[in-house]
Structure 1
């Protein structure tokens, strides 16, 4: 048994958080002793496994500010992670392996006393930073350099897709390492054991029995391009009969943290857009739905719409495929590896018209919805199953600790 600590900046609700929680579960099932160290964990805004004690969580450094007057987020994220890493190396029961992600600045600190450090690169952080003026460039320059150098100090680096691997190579030109692709998966045991509740209970409102439900699941962030789902809904009125369009509803479900100004602002922007396009009565907003609610609406929906462009990988398409739902996504990034266009869903251009065209095609051909759903689940089980994810991750950890033993 190996003692493994997962170091993550903020254990909220998102794709990165879902992945590391699933990774911890996979290693725990293989007999390893796992726990989390994080700088923030809100029991009201987290996955159930970190709330109910399935995986122990220790919060350190939450007193350190996240920013100063809305600026220097990256710098303070670095400071918080260095503090958390210092806690790990100084604690009485130090782990043999630390699995960290998102922020690499902690790696040289961890290497002072931790035998092995694994880094999971969801996407280079410097590419996620919003562009700015000359002062912003000067501020980011040392941070970008440190990100590259410290990433290269990990004993092993994973990336979440071939796409991210190519971005890794083009961004970190100084590094000679070749990261290993570890496709994310989902905790299928949880999906299988979750009690499905009615749509009415999830939404706290009743929909017509013959409703056609479109579902978008993503955090309330502008980069997720959520407005595209609402625009596609409005465009559907042009390509469906009045009778059919009347039955269509869009559920916008996503992570929402009231501490994050963008979440609050973007939620209000989307409400305003729905009003502007005269689809307010057809759009239902869910903020941070529970795990049970999310699994339930996935089961009850007809089609999943995935709008982010150049997504690093994307967990939502996997969740949709596992429950047998077709996915319509933008033809870029990770969805190009998870979705087979024309078989499990569609990859389309980034426009409301393009999304609406394929949504209408599926709505007017319900047999294809069923066929795509079956093909999607088969593809998930063959390529993205939790068993395959667990096997690859456990093998990597076992190989690393065996090397140290020898």
Structure 2
């Protein structure tokens, strides 16, 4: 029985956190003893599985700062993860065989200090240095050693996995010195348990949507500027401008996603989007939801005409997979992970990241209810064939066995 510890910086409710939780649950189902170690875990802002006593979550180092006067986020994240790894290796007394870490690789040298040495598996969602803006000369000076550390420490893992072929290509382009490092693709899966249960926590969408709503589009992503959520609002405005008044009356957009009051960008961008909606004349046509529950998210996916997935060059993105499993077509930007998850013209549409392109795809689905149903059923089949939890569990367990043999 392999003993596996997952290390993750902040166990909130984003896509990376969903993958960590699903991976832990998957290995536990294969007989592994699993723990999750993190620097932050809020029981009121987390996935329900992390509250299960059978999936222990240890929180260490939350007293360390996440920034210095709103700056140095990367450096603080590095320090928190180094402390977390140091505590696990030297102070915890926990026995384990493999450590799985993601997002922050700088903790790997500390993990390699364990005696006897334990194996380290690093799951690369996307190079961290590509997720932050370069800025001016001072910022580039700050990022240079941080980026160098990311590359050097990533290469110190015993095994490196990536979440898509797209990320594998970006990994090779970004980490030039790691040309000899082999990367296997492990697509994120969908833990369908919560999607298969009838929503019970919420009264449904009746109290959420305005009376008379006949067609709902859904944007589901964290309140971050890089997610380009404004594109969904602009697409709705473009669609309304082109349609006859009779068709616009029941049209509604729900913008929902992860929101953490500790993150200034979440707070600022939420206000920016509400201001943009007002500027586009969409009052009464848009609802904004912050950190919806799993139950409400399922209701939204099941009740929407399509999900508008607006990020460009997204490394994978679990939202399109969730939508397709709920028989909801996906309209996504034709770059990054959606090129591998969404079948264009079959389970949704892949578009240029413009309001005009998105609005035309929305119009096709609005005018053709049968097309929505056909795409929805095709999407569910695609998830069952390509992104099942069973296949993910088998593949991940195989990697763990390879490391422990």
Q: TM-score range by the shorter chain?
A: over 0.9
**1: CA distance, partners of 2:186 / 2:56:** 24
Q: How far apart are residue 387 of structure 1 and its match? A: 1.0
Partner of 2:190: 186
Deviations 1:234-293 (A, max 9, x none): 111133221121111111110000010000000000000111111120100110011111
Relative to structure 1, is the Cα distance of residues 172 and 206 closer, same or farther in structure 2, using a 3 angstrom cutoff?
A: closer
Q: Is the 8 A contact 2:309 2:331 kept in 1?
A: yes
**Take 1:247 and 1:33, find their aligned partners in 2: how far apart are those partners?**
51
Segments of structure 1 that go 5 or more residues without pairing to the other structure are: none
| Contact persistence 1:88–1:94 (CA under 8 A) | no
Q: Give the whole-Å Cα distance in 1 for the aligned partners of 2:394 and 2:232.
A: 36
Q: Tell me the equivalent position of 1:31.
A: 31
Q: What is the TM-score when the length of structure 2 is the normalising length?
A: 0.96
Correspondent of 1:337 among 335, 340, 355: 340
Name the counterpart of 1:350: 353
Instruction: Write the distance in 2 (CA, Å) between the matches of 1:59 and 1:245.
Output: 49
**1:43 Cα deviation from its structure 2 partner:** 1.1
Q: Flag structure 2 segments of 5+ consecutive residues without an equivalent.
A: none
Provide the rounded CA distance (Å) in 2 between the counterparts of 1:33 and 1:262: 37
Deviates more, 1:312-321 or 1:298-307: 298-307
- Aligned residue in 2 for 1:97: 98
Sort the Cα spacing of 1:232 and 1:267 in 2 relative to 1 into closer, same or farther, 3 A. same
Distance in 2 of aligned mates of 1:52 and 1:204: 30
Q: 1:210 Cα shift? A: 5.4
Per-residue CA deviations over 1:132-157 (Å, capped at 9, x if unaligned) read: 21121111111111101100111111
CA distance in 1, matches of 2:207, 2:268: 24
8 Å Cα contact 1:252-1:283 kept in structure 2: yes
2:375 is the alignment partner of 1:372: yes
Distance 1:317 1:54, change over 3 A: farther
* Equivalence for 1:83: 83
Alignment of 1:14-53 (within 5 A): 14-53=14-53
Q: Is the 8 A contact 1:6 1:98 kept in 2?
A: yes
Query: In 1, Cα distance between the equivalents of 2:28 and 2:106?
Result: 26
CA contact (8 A) 1:6 1:20 kept: yes
Task: Report if aligned partners of 2:15, 2:318 keep a CA contact under 8 Å in 1.
Answer: yes
Residue 271 and residue 192 in structure 1: after superposition, are their counterparts in 2 closer, same or farther (change >3 A)? same
| Contact kept? 1:239, 1:357, Cα under 8 Å | no
Secondary structure, in 3 states, of the residue corresponding to 1:214? Answer: strand
**Counterpart check, 1:287 vs 2:309:** no
TM-aligned CA distance change 1:222 to 1:153, over 3 Å: same
Q: Distance in 1 between matches of 2:289 and 2:247?
A: 24
- Structure 2 CA distance, aligned partners of 1:372 and 1:342? 8
Q: TM-score, normalised by structure 1?
A: 0.96
- Superimposed CA distance per residue, residues 309-361 of structure 1 (whole angstroms, 9 cap, x where no aligned partner): 11000000000011111000001000001111111100001111110000001
1:204 offset after TM fit, Å? Answer: 4.0
Kindly report which structure 2 residues correspond to 1:75-154, keeping only aligned pairs within 5 A, or say none.
75-90=75-90, 91-113=92-114, 114-154=117-157
CA-based RMSD: 1.4
- The whole-number CA distance in structure 2 between the counterparts of 1:396 and 1:190 is 26
Q: What number of residue pairs does the alignment pair up?
A: 401
User: Any idea what SS the aligned residue of 1:236 has?
Assistant: helix
For residues 129 and 206 of structure 1, the distance between their equivalents in structure 2, rounded to whole angstroms, comes to: 36
CA contact (8 A) 1:161 1:182 kept: yes
* Partner residue in 2 for 1:255: 258
Report the alpha carbon displacement of residue 220 of structure 1 after superposing the two structures with TM.
0.2
